[in-house]
A and B are shown apart, each in its own frame.
Chain A
């Protein structure tokens, strides 16, 4: 795609000879909110780490802004990461720094802005996530949803062109979830950024995502707009979207035949 800012091409990745991804292709166009969905352990978060250059692919490549990530040296990777913001699953706020200092952290590390400007920018970012009033609190004093919002403010501190979200809805109450949903879309559009969301929350994601990839068994099992996928007849997508307990992903872990096991007394 011509305006793709992140492109994953024929990517394979594995640990100790076991492949987690087997030839994945994905495109993340500029300005769009793209979700990567799949069951737990399907390697969704690993994809984010591959985009961020924290892991190296076994085969294939990830391009960010036209540059191949794993071919960069340390400086090159750090240069690319300055264009990225990442929201970790539980926020990953620095517990020894206040909310204000957490958001100021990337600015202090990467810019020489005067203190007054840092202050204004931090309050601006915190205001965008609705937590300007919480700037003096410590991370331990925040609820899960608030921590996630502060982490979001920190992720967008340097106005990144790519924002990655790792399970942004995990463990949130419905109100916090709605707030985060709204923020993801509005911040993406306000910053003109590209958002990549790794999640397994179907309903929330389908409300605001432009495009969705489903990952299963190491490959892209399905892709399309939320409407396409909602109406998909593919058995895996149908099971996932409608949350059915049995289907292509079985309820039972692979085991010997039940009746025979009972009779044999085998475990």
Chain B
């Protein structure tokens, strides 16, 4: 009896692992097919622009509002600690570095996965469930070139722009709390920031991170939609998986990228 249960446990574990590896392979294959089918999304850039609107512009509100609050909280928390050491003027640097290096790319990617990623998965999943992708195939039009690739590039374009806007608005939020509210000197706030935020090490690395997150989040959302069982239940499960997988991927990738950046 125990042996039987153990056997079942192992076979379940094995099946789960095989399934995960299979999905990773299928995702990699879709990524490759998307890259080689990308010509269409550049030749007819209108398709990609349209998707930039849906993934990027429509995510603006949630990204900007979140950024504003994140910046304000950072300033409050930062001031609380810094003032103990008498260096409350360094608050500008703290807010800027935290946002540009980490919070900008990471929180944007997490919000993007929740807002745009789920929308992409649901849309592609529904297109599959209602046979729209099949219909396209039967019309001798590749759904990967026509549907997947433009959305992929739109995500990759939108993410760094959103992350940059997130950092900008976050810094503005931090400024509003630190300077007019708490009374930190405005000159010190900006000049310390200017002196200590490095263009290459801080800003470009942050942008690079957001590009990588853009690729990961968009590809995960597209794959989940493309791979979803063509039923209402299948699509809803895929949408959930998009958020979970994207979030974990973003946080994991962030650690790997940061360790490389700091080591270099």
Contact = CB atoms under 8 A, between A and B. Distances in A.
Interface of A: 52, 54, 77-79, 81-82, 84, 86, 88-90, 92-95, 105-106, 109-110, 151
A110 B136 CA distance: 12
Interface of B: 126-127, 130-132, 134-141, 146
Contacts of B146: 109
Contacts of B136: 94
Contacts of B132: 92-95
B139 A92 contact: no
B140 A92 contact: no
Contacts of A90: 130-131
B137 A54 contact: yes
B138 A84 contact: yes
Nearest to B131: A92
Contacts of B126: 95
Nearest to B123: A96
A109 B137 CA distance: 12
Given A90-B130, A92-B132, A94-B132, A109 B141 contact: yes
B134 A92 contact: yes
B140 A86 contact: no
Given A54-B138, A95-B132, A106-B139, 6 more contacts: A52-B137, A54-B137, A86-B135, A88-B134, A88-B135, A94-B132
A81 B130 contact: no
Nearest to B137: A54
A105 B139 contact: yes
A90 B126 CA distance: 13
Contacts of A95: 126-127, 130, 132
A54 B126 CA distance: 19
A109 B130 contact: no
Nearest to B126: A95
A256 B158 CA distance: 61
Contacts of B138: 52, 54, 81, 84, 86
B120 to A, nearest CB: 13
A162 B132 CA distance: 20
A229 to B, nearest CB: 29
B135 A92 contact: yes
A248 to B, nearest CB: 31
Given A82-B140, A110-B140, A54 B134 contact: yes
Nearest to B147: A94
Contacts of B139: 81, 105-106, 109-110
B245 to A, nearest CB: 25
Nearest to A54: B137
B239 to A, nearest CB: 17
A160 B136 CA distance: 15
A106 B137 CA distance: 11
A-B residue pairs, 10 tightest by C-beta: A92-B135, A78-B140, A92-B131, A81-B140, A86-B138, A88-B131, A109-B141, A106-B139, A82-B140, A92-B132
